[in-house]
Amino acid sequence: MTDVAATPPLLAAATAMLPDVLEIRRLIHRQPERGLQLPLTQQLIVHELERLGLAPTRGNALTSVTALIEGASPGPTILLRADMDALPLTEDTDLPFVSEIAGTMHACGHDTHVAMLLGAARLLAERREQLAGRVLLMFQPGEEGFHGARSMLEEGLLDRPADEAVTGAFAIHISTRYPTGTIDLRPGPMLAAGDTIRITVLGRGGHASTPHLAVDPITVAAEIVLALQVMVTRRVDAFEPAVLTIANISAGTTTNIIPETAFIQGTMRTVSEEVRERVRGYVRQVAEGVAAAHGATVDVDIEPGYPVTVNDPAFTAFVTRTATGLIGADRVVTLDAPVMGSEDMSYVLQQVPGAMVFLGGRPDEVDPLTAPQNHSNRVEFDEAAMAVGIALHAAVALGHLAAGAGEPDARRTG
């Protein structure tokens, strides 16, 4: 088997193909789709994979796409993942390829993820002779709250013969938090679990001039909101991160009526399952206790979101070495703490050792303190960074399969 290190540099090859990849990215950006059903995006992906001589498979309950790149010799399988869906935002940028769909925008960079993985597929398809095993390409809809990765697992994403088992998984997420072209990662918890909290306060309605004859759910709701913030600071260890944000409060119809109910909802983020379960219990305890003190009752609903995204330490060390060989040690950053966003790549990493990394997408001339972040309708990602993402996908796949074939030195990619 040819040593990966002896091949033409992957980053140079990725940079050379970048104009073609950008054309794909911009087409997806113009026609964003949300949720689990993304027929236009799916068809584009299928077309591009078929152009590479691959045989893509479409999902059943969702518009996912998978494809295998078969290597020239036997070995394990590595999974490379890109999410596909957009967000419910109306774009407010001056990009020449601005979204043409009102109320929908690729504000989290998933259009770049799809394009980068298609670019990496091209690099890998051209290097089949170097693959000892196979690469499983995972194009996933429904990352933005729809549990698309879980649905793909339920449809048999990882169901393979023992000698073709998936032994590693890798994903890249672009972000304007970080300078263009950097790779930012950490072993262990990388992103938080995210649960949704919904609390309905049940009081007793009445006239606003006689609150003593009613049970005002609005004041109870207000006290619950404040008590939840105190709970986080006084019940949870400061070295075990937890974030609880109430982002919506609704109650009442006019100025002189005390309503019967008030509704509050928000999100809870934690980076360990133990703290996650404890905080869930604390939320119920606080809401029920505050309500009881005022003669009200509550209905507390905590909807489980994505689990903690945990990077396998050994695989993360391998990715760190691979990225360092690709772009240099000064461009590879080990994060001090997890990011409190959440990701459904977590479902895959619960079953397969692997890692998810951030790719810096903030132009050098942009102030990091004012740069629009992911999920902003003004966010703009530096497309030049995508060459690094393309090359890193390919380098990780080549290195992992070479190591699986007993050639650990082949991890020196670049």
Sign of CA dihedral 206, 211, 212, 215: positive
64-94: b (≥16 Cβ within 10 Å) or e: bbbbbbbbeeebbbbbbbbbbbbbebebebe
Four-CA torsion 224, 229, 231, 232, nearest 10 degrees: 150
- Taking residue 409's Cβ as centre, other Cβ atoms within 10 Å add up to 11
In a 13 Å sphere around the CA of 19, the CA atoms on its Cβ side amount to: 1
Cβ pair 11, 387 in contact under 8 A:
yes
Cβ pair 45, 116 in contact under 8 A:
no
383 is catalytic: yes
Strand order in 193-202's β-sheet? 242-251, 261-270, 193-202, 297-303
Helix (H) or strand (E) holding 207: strand 206-207
Q: Phi and psi (nearest 5°) for 44?
A: -60, -45
Q: Phi and psi (nearest 5°) for 263?
A: -130, 130
- 3-state secondary structure (DSSP) of residue 37: coil
295-334: b (≥16 Cβ within 10 Å) or e: ebbbebebeebbbbbbbbeebbebbbbbbbbbbeeebbbe
Q: Which among 91, 306, 343, 347 is annotated as catalytic?
A: 306
Q: Is 160 exposed, middle or buried (0-12, 13-18, 19+ CB in 10 A)?
A: middle
Sequence-ordered list of residues with C-beta below 8 angstroms from that of 165, at least 6 positions apart, any chain: 76, 77
240 is catalytic: no
Active-site amino acid positions: 306, 383
